[in-house]
Amino acid sequence: MDLGAVTNHSTLHAKPSGLVLQYGTAGFRTNAEHLDHIMYRMGLLAVLRSKQMKATIGVMVTASHNPEEDNGVKLVDPLGEMLAPSWEEHATRLANAEEQDLQRVLVDISESEAVDLQQDAFVVIGRDTRPSSEKLSHSVIDGVTVLGGQFHDYGLLTTPQLHYMVYCRNTSGRYGKATIEGYYQKLSKAFVELTKQASCSGDEYRSLKVDCANGIGALKLKEMQHYFSQGLLVQLFNDGTKGKLNHLCGADFVKSHQKPPEGMEMKSNERCCSFDGDADRIVYYYLDADGQFHLIDGDKIAALISSFLKDLLLEIGESLDIGVVQTAYANGSSTLYLEEVMKVPVYCTKTGVKHLHHKAQEFDIGVYFEANGHGTALFSKAVEVKIKQLAKELEDNKGKAAKMLENIIDLFNQAAGDAISDMLVIEAILALKGLTVQQWDALYMDLPNRQLKVKVADRRVISTTDAERQVVTPPGLQEAISDLVKKYKLSRAFVRPSGTEDVVRVYAEADSQENADSLAHEVSLAVFQLAGGIGERPTPNF
- Judged by the rule CB under 6 A, the positions of this chain that interact with ligand GN1 are 25-26, 64, 329, 351-353, 370, 372, 374, 498-501, 505
Relative to beta strand 150-156, strand 122-127 is parallel
Q: Cβ closer to ligand GN1: 82 or 409?
A: 82
Which of 152, 118, 153 is CA-nearest to residue 135? Answer: 153
Whether 31 has a binding-site annotation, put simply, is: no
Work out how close the CB of 126 gets to Mg ion at its nearest, in angstroms, rounded to a whole number. Answer: 13
Say what the alpha-carbon torsion angle 286, 189, 241, 274 is, to the nearest 10 degrees: 30
Please identify the residue of the shown chain whose CB is closest to the bound ligand GN1. Answer: 499
CB under 5 A: which stretch of 15-23, 63-71, 80-88, 348-356 binds Mg ion? 63-71
Nearest partner of 467 among 331, 348, 330, 345, judged by Cα: 348
Q: Is 108 annotated as a binding residue?
A: no
Query: Count of residues binding Mg ion (CB under 5 A)?
Result: 4
Residue 360 contacts residue 354 (beta carbons within 8 Å): no
Q: Report how far residue 412's alpha carbon sits from residue 407's, in angstroms, rounded to the nearest whole number.
A: 9
422 lies in the site for Mg ion, by CB under 5 A = no
Distance, in Å, from the CA atom of 418 to the CA atom of 149, rounded to the nearest integer, reads: 28
- The contacts of residue 474 (CB under 8 Å, 6+ apart) are 461, 462, 530, 531
Give the distance from CA 518 to its chain's centroid: 30
Residue 287 makes CB contacts below 8 A (sequence gap 6+) with 260, 266, 267, 268, 269, 270, 293, 294
Residues 256-295 that bind Mg ion (CB under 5 A): 276, 278, 280
| Residue 209 touches which member of ligand GN1, Mg ion, none, C-beta under 5-8 Å by kind | none
- Nearest approach in angstroms of CB 278 to ligand GN1 is 9
User: Nearer Cβ to ligand GN1, position 61 or 180?
Assistant: 61
517 binds, among Mg ion, ligand GN1, none (CB under 5 to 8 A by kind): none
Residue 308: HSE in the Cβ half-sphere, 13 Å Cα cutoff? 25
Residue nearest Mg ion, CB atom distance = 64
Residue 500 marked ligand-binding: yes
Rounded Cα distance, 27 and 45, in Å: 13
35 versus 60: smaller Cβ distance to Mg ion:
60
351 binds, among Mg ion, ligand GN1, none (CB under 5 to 8 A by kind): ligand GN1
Pairing of strands 28-31, 70-76: antiparallel
Annotation-wise, does 512 bind a ligand?
no
Rounded to whole angstroms, how far apart are CA atoms 137 and 91?
A: 17
- Asked if 37 and 44 touch (Cβ cutoff 8 Å), the reply is no
278 interface partner picked from ligand GN1, Mg ion, none, CB below 5 to 8 A per type: Mg ion
In the complex, least distance from residue 168 CB atom to ligand GN1, rounded to whole angstroms: 23
474 annotated to bind ligand? no
Q: Is 407 exposed, middle or buried (0-12, 13-18, 19+ CB in 10 A)?
A: buried
64 is catalytic: yes
Q: Which is nearer to Mg ion, 64 or 331 (CB)?
A: 64
- Active-site pick, 64, 188, 306, 524: 64
Instruction: Decide which of Mg ion, ligand GN1, none touches 370; Cβ closer than 5 to 8 Å per partner kind.
Output: ligand GN1
Measured CA distances, 473 to 269, 302, 530 (Å): 46, 32, 10
- Residue number with CB closer to Mg ion (13 or 374): 374
518 is in an annotated binding site: no
Residue closer to ligand GN1 (CB basis): 169 or 374: 374
280 annotated ligand-binding residue: yes
Which residues does the annotation place in the binding site for substrate?
Answer: 370-372, 496-500, 505
- Catalytic residues, by residue number, are 64
Residues within the interface to Mg ion (CB under 5 A): 64, 276, 278, 280
